[in-house]
Amino acid sequence: MYLVEKAGSVILGSMNFITSCQIFTMRRTFFILFLFLMTLHLAQAQTRVIFLGDSITEAGANPDGYVTLVADSMQALEIDIAVMGAGISGNKVPDLLERLDQDVLSHTPTHVVIYIGINDVWHHFEFDHVMGTDSVTFQEGLRELIDRIEQVDATVLLCTPSVIGEDTESDAAANQRLSEYAQLIRNVAKEKRVHLCDLRAAFEAYLTEQNSDRLYEGVLTTDGVHLNAKGNRFVADFMIRELREVLGI
């Protein structure tokens, strides 16, 4: 048993004989029914894993995304597990805190994988209309996320962020800052005694071997941040190994 859930809408074909109001009502009804069934499925599974994150995790719930690939692999193990994606584009640590109750804790997870940090750094450098997250707020937010998740007896898996640019030797400010924030995550994981998924270290090891041309993008990402097909497979394999270790399977 498994589940991949992604916030979205039910797409209906062209039906000229149905009014726009009727289409809206039908879409809303179908979507509510879909969410109800998915939530019911999640609630019934013995092991309930939720991936909490940003656009990388949002896209991960697509058919070829890493969350879906994790779910498919777990299904093949024939264990009673449901996997759900709870990613929203642009999210940073403060955003996860705001929606934790509704998007995660309300589904009574047994395990929560926190994969965050890219936008907390990237938004310091690349965008004029948004702000990044300062290091103090970032660390305090991670601690609060862990505390609130553990209060419902769920296990936390805390990930370091992957990359902003695939050249591991880059001296770009965003890359250097992301390394600093990855270390903050490692420190928080050690302090809070939660399972660390050092995804950044895994990316760096792979890209050191596979990106000899020091390309900014195109090996595991489409744009230096968001995963391509190989990147989704890479992250899925990494997450499966981490989950199997934590679950003891």
Q: What is the dihedral of CA 28, 33, 39, 43, to 10 degrees?
A: 160
In this predicted structure, what is the pLDDT of residue 79? 87
Average pLDDT, integer, range 185-207: 98
* CATH number attached to the domain at 20-247: 3.40.50.1110
Q: Which of 29-38, 146-155, 240-249 has the lowest mean pLDDT?
A: 29-38
pLDDT at 215 over 80: yes
Is residue 157 within 8 Å of 116, Cβ to Cβ?
no
CA-based R_g, the chain, Å: 19
In this predicted structure, what is the pLDDT of residue 14? 42
Q: Which pLDDT band, with edges at 50, 70 and 90, does 28 fall under?
A: low
Q: Which pLDDT band, with edges at 50, 70 and 90, does 17 fall under?
A: very low
In this predicted structure, what is the pLDDT of residue 31? 46
Report pTM: 0.83
Q: What is the dihedral of CA 186, 137, 56, 83, to 10 degrees?
A: 70
Q: Which pLDDT band, with edges at 50, 70 and 90, does 21 fall under?
A: low
Average pLDDT, integer, range 25-52: 66
pLDDT tens per residue, range 103-150: 999 999 999 999 999 999 999 887 777 899 999 999 999 999 999 999
Largest CA distance in the chain: 61
Q: Which pLDDT band, with edges at 50, 70 and 90, does 241 fall under?
A: very high
In this predicted structure, what is the pLDDT of residue 130? 83
In this predicted structure, what is the pLDDT of residue 37? 52
pLDDT at 36 over 60: no
Percent above pLDDT 90 for the chain: 76
CA distances from 112 to 27, 86, 122, 175, 191 (A): 30, 10, 24, 26, 18
Tokens for 194? 């939660």
Please state the domain extents for the chain.
Answer: 20-247
pLDDT tens per residue, range 58-115: 999 999 999 999 999 998 888 899 999 999 999 999 999 999 999 999 999 999 999 9
Of residues 187 and 31, which shows the higher confidence score? 187
> 193 φ, ψ to 5°?
60, 50
Of residues 209 and 18, which shows the higher confidence score? 209
Mean predicted lDDT score pLDDT of the chain? 88
